[in-house]
Structure 1
Amino acid sequence: MKEGGGGGGDGGFVRADQIDLKSLDEQLERHLSRAWTMEKRKEEAATGADQRGRPALAPAHSLQRRQRREDWEIDPAKLVIRGVIARGTFGTVHRGVYDGHDVAVKLLDWGEDDHRSEQDIAALRAAFSQEVSVWHKLDHPNVTKFIGAVMGARDLNIQTENGHIGMPSNVCCVIVEYLPGGALKGFLIKNRRKKLAFKVVVQIALDLARGLSYLHSKKIVHRDVKTENMLLDKTRTVKIADFGVARLEASNPSDMTGETGTLGYMAPEVLNGSPYNRKCDVYSFGICLWEIYCCDMPYPDLSFSEVTSAVVRQNLRPEIPRCCPSSLANVMKRCWDANPDKRPEMAEVVSMLEAIDTSKGGGMIPVDQRQGWLSCFRRYRGP
């Protein structure tokens, strides 16, 4: 990732636009396996002596703890962490309760690693602090509500069937509202055969578009827009989640480079390693809109390398069904235009979706109801 805060008239984001939380929590997957070892160290710290009877020294990072509590910091004593609900390459999410409310808790652990210096850990913590200080100010019905975070707490416990497991002293966590509807991706998979009513398609798309429009108004680029990162509440309202690679938009587009996101949703300029801006989210939204309408996966028969090559060099896009109303198909095409400058702003996408008439239907036709369904799809290449 390139250094420098960039110039330009959007003013003064400086280091904030370098935040990338995926690099922060890469150690997470190993934290449970070390938990038992850390228990012994905690006991030694509690007794104030090591095995040779000498006073135990506090870790350097704890000596450097801030003297004041940030306004996004929660009280660890009010947090109960329970079972795992999701595991991934870059994170483990647990169910939990904070101050009597159901929450989701993402755990991060950067310590006790021979490859991490104190300076590295300090830099990771500074970036973590910047990221959550941005997220905690967000307030929108289509963005997952941030509740708080804690860095370096020593008294966190995970409840398991076998009792409590103490966490390493370097553990950090992010606490957000718990959404019982799960990921939008799962909802679409469940409806893969029968498809969704057109009014439901447009409502889901509007939820996502409004959330992204709000983020962009705050100069935040999500960078990993996909149905897997969108969650549903109990009323089926869509909320944007997983800000693991979100960052403030650089004033200078050349400061926003590097392949970040998920293949199949990534814009051509991102795949190319070219400079990009918030319009990469607009492209990803176009792919999500197709997925919401079709309840299917884009490019199911292509390998990763084939997708990358075809999207960039051949302008390949998902197949638009012939049964798709032109009003919705037009939104898809404009959003996934190869030229970022020709893509609409998300605020315009919201207006386009709001203008669509859903009273006469127009949803995807289920396979068992199609006649001549093989002609229902057409491959879309280019604007």
Structure 2
Amino acid sequence: MDLSVSDAPVGRLLDGRYRIEALLARGGMATVYKATDTRLDRAVALKIMHAELAADDDFVARFINEARAVAQLSDPNVVNVFDQGEDDGAVYLAMEYIHGRTLRDVLHERGRLGADLALEVAESVLSALAAAHRAGIVHRDVKPENVLVGNDGRVKVADFGLARANSTSSKTTRGLLGTVSYISPEQALGERATPRSDVYSAGIMLYELLTGKTPHEGPTDFVVVRSHIDDDVPPPSEAVPLPPAVDDLVLTATAREPRKRYADADAFLAAIRSTRAAIVGVPLPEPEDDPDLTEVHAEPRDSAGVSLDEALAGTVLAGQVGRVNDVEPRRPAAEPDEDEDETGDDVAQADARWDGEESRPGSTRRIDAPLSIRFTEDETEDGEKAPPPGSRAARQAEARARATSHRRTEQTRGRRGLYLFLFVLLLAIGVATAAWWYGSGRWESTPSLLDLTAEQAETRAEDSGFDAVSGGEEFSETVEAGLVLRTEPGPGERLLGGSEITYVLSRGPERYVVPELVGQTVAQANELAEPLAMTVTVEEEVFHDEVEAGLILTQSVEAGEEVRRDTEVVVTVSRGQEPLDIEDFTGQPADQAQAALAEAGFRVVTEEQNSDDVEAGVVISQDPASGTGFRNDEITIVVSSGPELIEVPNVRGERVERAEEILREAGFEVEVEDLFPEFGSDGRGDRVQNQEPAAGEQAPRGSTVRIIIF
């Protein structure tokens, strides 16, 4: 079954793992299905390459290599790639399944977005592109169809670095990587896509988000492509009211000349953030700030919004105060009423009340025994003479003395309780302070040292109570050489005062000078390119008459040009001279042989030779007459000049016998013609009267000379 074109492979288990659930979309390169990863029990988006593309080994290799590269990206705005494989000819990619819709769907519903929302969406898109550019990946096809908007509001970018085939639905022109409405001028001209090409496409998309339409439109793809090449993008404020700063963003990103655009998505992203901060008050994040790290290191709080440190201190204090407050105030003893009966019941009842209160369950205070004050038999507490024992006055005096003693005891206990409360309060404060100090009080937030020189970074760290130490240097496309690129730990993290912060300085953009590769072998070129972080790729091998086989003829990047790491230099290699088949022209006219051999690329040397058998002007022999040779090789042909010519001797006046002898010695045949045969003479003794050819003429050896007698 051809999964790439089937509408109903639902239920099929691909590669023994992915159960296809439903068709999601079909494009020019692949068909996308919703599937279930049966091993991890999660939904995935399964992209299956079309069968005709899957049959192209080069395309599949590129598909796999770039999918692996995209899988290494960790930006939250990139659609995650989980797996890649092949099952019975079906080449697939398993990706994160996003519950939501495309940005194109959003535009269809809303027409256009407000400036703030459009810039916010662009931030997310550029964050994903920036991660790709830092990894050396160019998207090549930035457009709303490749931007997914989740139901939770997250924006994610899909289809990184994957080539597009022709598709009527996406207006993709065959031979171009990209969609015509968003393609950069250099891509339209067939040049290699760069990060600036993605910046251009993102700028066109931002224009569309702001205005609801693309800047270049026309009846045919060709018209749109020519507009990208020939026409500037107009300011979006001509279509909708916008601040000038937003116009500047779009016009800079969509400059027709690549070098006038933002260098990459990082630079475009920084410009958008600055613009948002200026026009809508969105705070700028710290450079290299990671929202995940910020969340991890935020102050932990409970459900009431209280930090753990505060909660710990409050618990200690509340616990101590609670134990003090458990002490109930003692009720004062009742003063005996002077009108009371003189019986001893009043005093007994008062003692019983005190005893009952002291033994009440749950009380934290305890009195070991009822209080009593003894007086001498003869004196009261005031030194007066004691009333007679058992009298009413004696009982009243004892009751008053007991009440006074209880009041003094309560006062003493009240002061002790206050002292205890103050002690516990101070103890709680001390414990809370110690907990704060050992928990977070000694920890300070690290300052931002980014974009500072080493001296400035060390000074700022010292002012903040830390030591800054150098951690070396690294290349950076965005941070100027000599300034701090990153720190460990990052800005805003909490460290013990006096701890070290390691900073890494930028070496600026990583650039290498392309060496001269022409005239080198491929092995020699690789040796030159390896330490420069370049890749040498042989595009083709061609015949060359002057450069020997195995040597490089051309290189795609000129020698001396500065390029980024991992730049690919495409070279053409000589196969040496092209072998030419040699045709044998023996027995053919010499002029035809000379023309044909010269046209084939050979140098022809002609020699003449008498021949009694071969007609003059015909090739007697050729050297070499077969096999192969190379351009400008020499081929010799021997052309017949006919039989050899010799001078006819003069035999006039000679007797016939002698004439015949002379002519035969010269190489001729002799024919005797007697003009008067009727006289019956044998003619042998006659003299020659004439000869043909005449004496002194040239005639072929072996030809006949006629001698005439009479």
Shorter-chain TM band: 0.5 to 0.7
Structure 1 residues 229 and 109: CA distance shift in structure 2, 3 A: closer
Change (3 A) 1:140 1:360: closer
Q: Does 1:102 align with 2:49?
A: no
| Aligned mates of 2:236, 2:219 — CA distance in 1 | 13
Verify the 8 A CA contact 1:310 1:316 in the aligned structure 2: no
Task: State the SS of the aligned residue for 2:152.
Answer: coil
2:93 corresponding residue in structure 1: 174
Structure 1 residues 8-60: Cα deviation after superposition (integer angstroms, max 9, x where no partner)? xxxxxxxxxxxxxxxxxxx8754669x8xxx9xxxxxxxxxxxxxxxxxxxxx
* Residues 1:171 and 1:32: Cα distance change in structure 2 (over 3 Å): farther
Partner amino acid for 2:258?
P
1:260 shift after superposition? 1.1
Structure 2 equivalent of residue 89 of structure 1:
28
Cα 1:181–1:298, aligned 2, differ >3 Å: closer, same or farther?
farther
Judged with a 3 Å threshold, the aligned counterparts in structure 2 of structure 1 residues 110 and 87 are, in CA distance, closer, same or farther, namely closer
Give the residue type in structure 2 aligned to 1:171.
Answer: A
Q: Find 2:160's aligned residue among 243, 248, 251.
A: 243
Structure 2 CA distance for aligned equivalents of residues 124 and 300 of structure 1: 31
Q: Secondary structure of the equivalent of 2:66?
A: helix
Equivalences for residues 109-148 of structure 1 within 5 A: 110=51, 120-121=56-57, 123-148=58-83
Change in CA separation of 1:219 and 1:310 when aligned onto 2, cut-off 3 Å: same
Contact 2:29 2:50 in 1 (8 A): no
Question: How many Å apart are 1:237 and its aligned residue?
Answer: 1.9
- The offset of 1:124, in angstroms, is 4.5
Gaps of 5+ in 1: 1-26, 40-73, 154-168, 248-257, 363-383
Aligned partner of 1:144: which letter?
A: V
AA of the residue aligned to 2:41: G
CA contact (8 A) 1:287 1:318 kept: no
* 1:150 and 2:91 are equivalent in the alignment: no
Taking the aligned partners of 2:187 and 2:231, their CA distance within structure 1 comes to 16
Counterparts of 1:197-346 in structure 2 under 5 Å?
197-243=114-160, 245=162, 259-317=176-234, 319-320=236-237, 321-344=239-262, 345-346=264-265
State how far apart, in whole Å, the 1-side matches of 2:193 and 2:53 are.
36
Corresponding letter in the other structure for 1:93: V
1:145 maps to amino acid = N
* Residue 189 of structure 1 pairs with residue 128 of structure 2: no
Partner deviation per Cα, 1:67-97 (whole Å, 9 max, x = no partner): xxxxxxx994332111111112221111111
What aligned pairs does 1:12-91 form with structure 2 within 5 A after superposition? 29-30=4-5, 76-91=15-30
2:64 maps to a residue whose letter is: S
Taking structure 1 as reference, are residues 278 and 171 closer, same or farther at Cα in structure 2, changes over 3 Å only? Answer: same
Q: How far apart in 1 are the matches of 2:193 and 2:65?
A: 22
Q: CA deviation at 1:334?
A: 0.4
Q: Distance in 2 between matches of 1:314 and 1:142?
A: 32
Q: Map Cα deviations across residues 160-217 of structure 1 (whole Å, 9 max, x no partner).
A: xxxxxxxxx211211111112211111111111xx43432212101001111111100
CA distance in 1: counterparts of 2:204 and 2:116, whole angstroms: 18
The corresponding residue for 1:355 is 274
Q: Distance in 1 between matches of 2:29 and 2:14?
A: 25
1: CA distance, partners of 2:53 / 2:192: 36
Partners of 2:60 and 2:183 lie apart in 1 by 28
Residues 145, 177 of structure 1: 8 Å contact kept: yes
Q: What secondary structure, in the 3-state scheme, does the structure 2 residue paired with 1:356 have?
A: helix
- TM-score, normalisation: structure 2: 0.34
Tell me how far apart the structure 2 counterparts of residues 358 and 189 of structure 1 sit (CA, whole Å): 28
Contact 1:299 1:318 in 2 (8 A): no
C-alpha deviation, 1:108, in angstroms: 2.3
CA gap 1:128/1:264 in 2 versus in 1, 3 angstroms: closer
Distance change in 2, residues 1:109/1:288 (3 Å): closer
Contact 1:204 1:238 in 2 (8 A): yes
Distance in 1 (alpha carbons) for counterparts of 2:119 and 2:141: 21
| Alpha-carbon shift at residue 225 of structure 1 (Å) | 0.6
- The separation in 2 between residues aligned to 1:275 and 1:128, in whole angstroms, is 18
Q: Could you report, residue by residue, the CA deviation over 1:324-369 in whole angstroms, capped at 9, with x for unpaired residues?
A: 111111110001101101111221111111112479669xxxxxxx
Do the aligned partners of 2:85 and 2:93 also contact (CA within 8 Å) in 1? yes
Give me the whole-angstrom Cα distance separating, in 1, the residues matched to 2:24 and 2:185: 33
In structure 1, how many angstroms separate the alpha carbons of the residues matched to 2:17 and 2:199? 39
Cross-structure match for 1:370: none
1:112–1:105 Cα change, 3 Å: closer
| TM-fit CA distance, 1:143 | 0.5
Change (3 A) 1:76 1:332: same
SS at match of 1:147: strand
Cα 1:315–1:197, aligned 2, differ >3 Å: closer, same or farther? closer
Which whole-Å CA distance do the structure 2 matches of 1:180 and 1:112 have between them? 28
% same residue: 26
In the alignment, residue 207 of structure 2 is paired with which amino acid?
A: W
Q: 1:197 to 1:359 in 2, by over 3 A?
A: farther
Amino acid at match of 2:104: K
- 1:379 matched residue in structure 2: none
Aligned residues: 265
Structure 1 residues 178, 306: CA separation in 2 closer, same or farther (over 3 Å shift)? same
Partner Cα distance (1:124, 1:276) in 2: 17
Contact 1:82 1:96 in 2 (8 A): yes
- CA 1:296/1:313 → structure 2, altered by over 3 Å: closer, same or farther? closer
Structure 2 letter corresponding to 1:91: A
**Closer, same or farther: CA 97–244 of 1 in aligned 2, 3 Å:** farther
Kindly tell me: are residues 111 and 312 of structure 1, through their superposed partners in 2, closer, same or farther at Cα, counting changes over 3 Å?
Answer: closer
Letter in 2 for 1:287: I
- Code of the residue aligned with 1:79 in structure 2: it is Y
- Contact preservation (8 Å) 2:203, 2:250: yes
For residue 82 of structure 1, give the secondary structure of its aligned residue in structure 2.
Answer: strand
For the residue of structure 1 that corresponds to 2:76, the secondary structure is coil
**Distance 1:228-1:317 versus aligned 2 partners, 3 A rule:** farther
* Post-superposition offset of 1:261: 0.2
Query: In 2, Cα distance between the equivalents of 1:112 and 1:211?
Result: 27
Specify the alignment match of 1:56 in structure 2.
Answer: none
Partners in 2 of 1:242 and 1:276 — Cα distance? Answer: 15
